[in-house]
Structure 1
Amino acid sequence: MTVAQDTEKPTALLNASVPLEEVAQFRVARTRLQGNNIVYDLLAENNGAMDSAAGLWNMRAIKTSSLAKPTYDIFPRNDNSSSSLRTSYSAPVGRVVSNALGTEFSILACPSNDTVEWTEVCIVLYKINILGRHGPRKMTAVIRAVNESGQHFVDSTGDASVSLAEKYHRLARRNVMTDESGSIIVLENKLPKWNTNSRSYTLDFHGRVTVSSSKNFQLINLDDDEYVVVQFGKVGDDTYSLDFRFPMSPVMAFGIVLTSLVRKLACA
């Protein structure tokens, strides 16, 4: 990504939206450690290969809570080791909090290095689908709107203190998915189509995804289903590809991916 790189302020860098005309490409690697610990690493790509040397963009997610309310903290990572829970930074730049069923997630960001003040920037909702009986997963992501410069929309309607979940449910109750105030953006996963030859549900990932998985997804704006905002899918036993574009930030995109990867009790 050709963004001004401020190595002294990784928090602001990783929470900044991708420039309008760019597509960020990453790999996500899952590492199983002793004691049933799992860490997820976001690694910048270089010509389609993992490139841990581009450390400004790399991050690591570590589970930090109990089963009752699973939480993953996201840290900057500028080392080349995937065999340890340790990172070079003590403070997280992002956080993903789940409900007990794994159907509702809140993604929090800390937009400044100077203070630890969490801001909810995205929620992800999964439709309950035990054992996958109702077909492929259905997910919705609701994010705070940003302008072309990547600055968050200032809500002038008096609803600035209203949560993303409440704003979304207000729209859902009216059976509309376009927010008239422009303060939120609603994204939904592009539904895969049934392929009679392979007898499976398929999406066109344009060669970026090579292994079928219920965790694979493409997030789109319903007003333009050709504009894929986030694309994620499996390429190996413990490796996934991740592409994202404006208005996503690295922290937000990684957080959405974590919601797909973690264990869910009420969604296959």
Structure 2
Amino acid sequence: MSLRSIVRELKEMRDGIGNTSTRGAGSRVSQRRTKSHIVPDMTLTSLEPIQQGQWANIPSELLLDIIRRVEETETSWPARAVVVSCASVCKSWRAVTKEIVQTPEQCGRLTFPISLKQPGPRDSPIQCYIRRDRETSAYLLYYGLVPSENETDKLLLVAKKIRRATGTDFIISLVADDFSRSSNTYVGKLRSNFLGTKFTIYDSQPPHGAGIPPKSTRSSRRFHSRQVSPRVPACNYIVSTITYELNVLRTRGPRRMNCIMNSIPVSAVQEGGTAPTPTSFPEITDEHFCSASAPALKGKGPVGDLSNSTLPVQEMPVQSQGPVESLVLKNKSPRWHEQLQCWCLNFKGRVTVASVKNFQLVAAVEPSHNVSAAEQEKVILQFGKIGKDIFTMDYRYPLSAFQAFAICLSSFDTKPACE
């Protein structure tokens, strides 16, 4: 039997398990997650009660060789979904697959959902694009150079824009049909102030190495208790702040922005430096469940909107292990083109339409940090327009896909005081 035949059989067996398992919340989560074109690690646990079968008894040497060959041959999506299928067979297959699959920093590929929280490669950037849906106020992040005609691009993240009286929220999820912060598809959010000059990025899980907040902390954000799973923490961790400089006098020039990455040390851009790289989603236990000690709340009933609920949601700053200086990113200064009479940046063909939203971010470091000039000029994140409601997003180390996407979302919000 050829390798492709084995993989095809495994995929059919996994699909059969998903169709027959209709009991419990695990099956519902698995069906909902399939729409995101990427299977989260958490959904794989729903197969464990029935994971022991004929494929679980394969010798470890043969199993290692099979999965290694699949990993080497299926390098792009949608074919790379076979690698995820191998991890869905059983517990032993999942352990071997996770051992072989490398992080985006090492291989330059996205495989599991945790890859969206891991830093990108150091040399060549990961190229993605964002599609804006004006009717639904949604922003969809796809993995690929440009939109394909057959719509086989892999959906990574989706953001929903919600306008408030005091600002704007962008709720970020793994799927396009569930933006509830009580769901395990919730990834994080971006929140702006009233003027659109300051944004805060919140992560649904603590950054790698950060402590879990005490469960006695309270916040004004609320969910209805019936809508919250006891396995999903209602917490938000501040991982970055984005500020746009005021332009009250309407002086000539593009937007100017600064990003303080609270969860990334400035040493990450130095030679031999490393950025936090989570390897899996954290286990949620009762003692880590932030809203376990929530007091009884008064109210006549639940409100269905995801922004008006009745269970506290904490918004916690990152707890650092010591006096570590955070990495600061600034937009690369453009040059004035006399013939075109406009500001220009070299996007190397990835941006084709002039827009005030276009930007490139580089590291803003002091000379005392001993960062080479080449590293200071290296573009860590670039974002720009290529068509109506189509934008490219290229990011590299030490940013993750989630952090890069949240920074790009800040460019979509209206900024009357900055333009």
Normalising by structure 1, report the TM-score: 0.75
Matched, 1:111 2:262: no
Which has more helix, going by share of residues? 2
Instruction: State the superposition RMSD in angstroms.
Output: 2.9
| Aligned twin of 1:267 | 418
User: Which sections of structure 2, spanning at least 5 residues, go unmatched?
Assistant: 1-103, 207-230, 278-315, 366-374
- Secondary structure of the structure 1 residue equivalent to 2:121: coil
Question: 5+ residue gaps in structure 1?
Answer: 78-84, 153-161, 165-179
Identity %: 30
Q: Please list, as runs of the form range in 1=range in 2, the aligned pairs for 1:118-267 lying within 5 A after superposition.
A: 118-130=236-248, 132-143=250-261, 144-145=263-264, 150-151=275-276, 181-223=323-365, 224-267=375-418
What is the CA distance between 1:149 and its match in structure 2?
Answer: 5.4
Greater RCO (Cα-Cα under 8 Å, separation 6 or more): 1
Shift of the 121–212 alpha-carbon distance from structure 1 to 2, 3 Å rule, reads same
How many pairs were matched up?
229
- Contact 1:145-1:182 within 8 A present in 2 as well: no
Q: Distance in 1 between matches of 2:235 and 2:109?
A: 24
What is the rounded CA distance, in whole Å, between the counterparts of 1:40 and 1:131 in structure 2?
A: 32
Cα deviation for residue 214 of structure 1 reads 0.9
CA contact (8 A) 2:167 2:196 kept: no
Does structure 1 conserve the Cα–Cα contact (< 8 Å) formed by 2:167 and 2:195?
no
* Shift in CA distance, 4/86, structure 1 to aligned 2, threshold 3 Å: closer
Residue deviations 1:231-254, cap 9 Å, x none? 011101111111000111111100
**Number of the residue aligned with 1:173:** none
Q: Which residue matches 2:125? A: 23
Over 3 Å counting, the alpha-carbon distance change for 1:210 and 1:4 in structure 2 is: closer
* Counterpart-to-counterpart distance in 1, 2:124 and 2:346: 20
Cα distance in 1, alignment partners of residues 110 and 394 from structure 2: 20
Distance 1:238 1:26, change over 3 A: same
Q: Go from structure 1 to structure 2 and tell me whether the alpha carbon gap of 1:222 and 1:24 turns closer, same or farther (over 3 Å shift).
A: same
Quote the residue 1:157 is aligned against: none
Q: Distance in 1 between matches of 2:109 and 2:335?
A: 36
Residues 190 and 225, structure 1, Cα contact 8 Å, conserved in 2: no
Quick one: distance in 1 between partners of 2:200 and 2:252?
24
Tell me the CA shift for residue 30 of structure 1.
Answer: 0.8
Quote how far apart the aligned CAs of 1:17 are.
Answer: 1.5
The amino acid of 2:131's aligned partner reads A
Distance 2:257 2:179 in 1: 33
Which has the larger share of strand?
1
Whole-Å Cα distance in 2 between the matches of residues 131 and 239 of structure 1?
31
* Greater Rg over alpha carbons, structure: 2
Structure 2 match to 1:68: 166
The Cα of 1:134 is off from its aligned counterpart by: 4.2
